[in-house]
Amino acid sequence: MDVVFLLHLLLVFMIIGAFITVEIKNMLSAVISIGAVGFTLSMAFLFLGAPDIAITQVIVEILSLILLIRATVNVDNVAIEEKGESVFHNRTALIFVGIILVFAWFAFQSLAPFGEPLMRVSDYYLNNGLIMVGATNFVTSVILDFRAYDTFGEAMVLFVSISGAFAILRRWKREQHKDFLRIDREH
Amino acid sequence: MTLYFLNFVLLIIGLYALVVKRHIVKKILGVAIMEYAVNLFLILLGFRKSGIAPILTEDMDLATFIHTAVDPLPQALVLTSIVIGLGTLALMVAMAIRLYERYGTFDMDEINRLRG
């Protein structure tokens, strides 16, 4: 089967999954549906010649599913009833979505056609990567050698976001603070 | 071209969930869908017809490999972007859990009303 046709099928499946995610009432079903979208994305990466990213996507998808199920389980997992006024909001949003899609169709005409990448910088990496770095996987040589500073900055962003999540979720500090308040009130 | 357009439709679905829905977890799911769309778009830009993965094996010739491999640069950037997406998702879920413990609901309008 042709790769481009297969990619069309995968993308249509992803759009259907994303639509179900947005519109379904039960939140646990929405989370499972976005898991289907993510694993289909991993398959698309595999067919696009990016096996490293496909593996990473599978692992990250499993972890994010665990996180999202933690957020939805044990609470009332039914979506919130829409109020009457939000029908107007829905219609306005749909009109703007239509306008954006029309403009995007014209904007995509000016891009390079699909299947013929520009590769102005990447030609240098492909030509000299084996001699300068010695790695046979060129993605790794770009991450860890040619663009190591970018990777360093992105690792910093990851560290900051994870430590922010820990700072929000920690319990001991708040309980200590509550104890202090109680002691103040008693005296 | 139609692949780019379908990809953009996916991004727009995420944006719609982010703007219109009132449930916080639905908003988080919208951000996740937009992330998927952007990552896939960058990889699609670097795809080459009948291209192979940018990994050199022993039985390949370097000169022909250069003209058949797909673009390694967007793959390298998207690889770190996916992991950062997990980090920001963890941050958003942590905030949502805290808001639920504080206000007892996931509804954005209700939280705004209770706060005011």
**How many angstroms separate the CA atoms of A149 and B50, rounded?**
32
| Chain A residues in contact with B12 (beta carbon < 8 A) | 97, 100-101
User: Range with the lowest mean pLDDT among A164-173, B5-14, B22-31?
Assistant: A164-173
A102 part of a folded domain: no
Strand partners for A78: A26
Rounded average pLDDT over A62-68: 93
Q: Which of A39, A66, A83 is the last residue of a domain?
A: A83
pLDDT, position B82: 93
Q: Which of A83, A106, A135 is the last residue of a domain?
A: A83
* A65 shares a domain with A137: no
Nearest neighbour of B91 by CB, restricted to A80, A117, A161: A161
Q: Do B17 and A21 touch (CB under 8 A)?
A: yes
* A72 shares a domain with A1: yes
Grouping H, G, I as helix, E, B as strand and the rest as coil, residue B52 is strand
Nearest neighbour of B93 by CB, restricted to A30, A38, A71: A71
Enumerate the domain spans of chain B: 2-55+66-115
Flag whether pLDDT at A73 surpasses 90.
no
pLDDT, one tens digit per residue, over A157-180 is 999 999 999 999 887 666 666 665
Q: Which of A33, A62, A83 is the last residue of a domain?
A: A83
pLDDT, one tens digit per residue, over A96-151 is 888 999 999 999 888 888 888 888 888 888 888 888 888 888 999 999 999 999 99
**How many angstroms separate the CA atoms of B29 and A158, rounded?**
19
Name the band, by pLDDT with cuts 50, 70 and 90, for residue B2.
Answer: confident
A147 part of a folded domain: yes
CB B72 within 8 A of CB A138: yes
Q: Do A86 and B22 touch (CB under 8 A)?
A: yes
Q: Phi-psi bin for A57: left (phi > 0), alpha (psi -120 to 50), beta?
A: alpha
Q: Would you state the structure tokens that stand for residue B30, as one six-digit string?
A: 């919208």
Enclosing domain of residue A50:
1-83
* A137 shares a domain with A63: no
Nearest neighbour of A138 by CB, restricted to B6, B8, B54: B54
Question: Taking the alpha carbons of A35, A37, A43, A48 in that order, is the dihedral positive or negative?
Answer: negative
A104 part of a folded domain: no
A33 part of a folded domain: yes
Closest to B89 (Cα-Cα) out of B20, B11, B26, B31:
B31
* A74 shares a domain with A4: yes
pLDDT, position B52: 87
* A27 shares a domain with A78: yes
Closest to B96 (Cα-Cα) out of B109, B112, B107, B110:
B107
Topology of the domain comprising B2-55+66-115: Helix Hairpins (1.10.287)
**How many angstroms separate the CA atoms of A158 and A144, rounded?**
16
CB B91 within 8 A of CB A168: yes
DSSP codes joined into one string, A97-137 = HHHHHHHHHHHHTTSPPTT----TTHHHHHHHHHHHT--SB
| Chain A residues in contact with B22 (beta carbon < 8 A) | 80, 82, 86
Domain count, chain A: 2
* Interface predicted TM-score (ipTM) of this complex, two decimals: 0.91
Structure letter (DSSP) for residue B69: B
* A125 shares a domain with A75: no
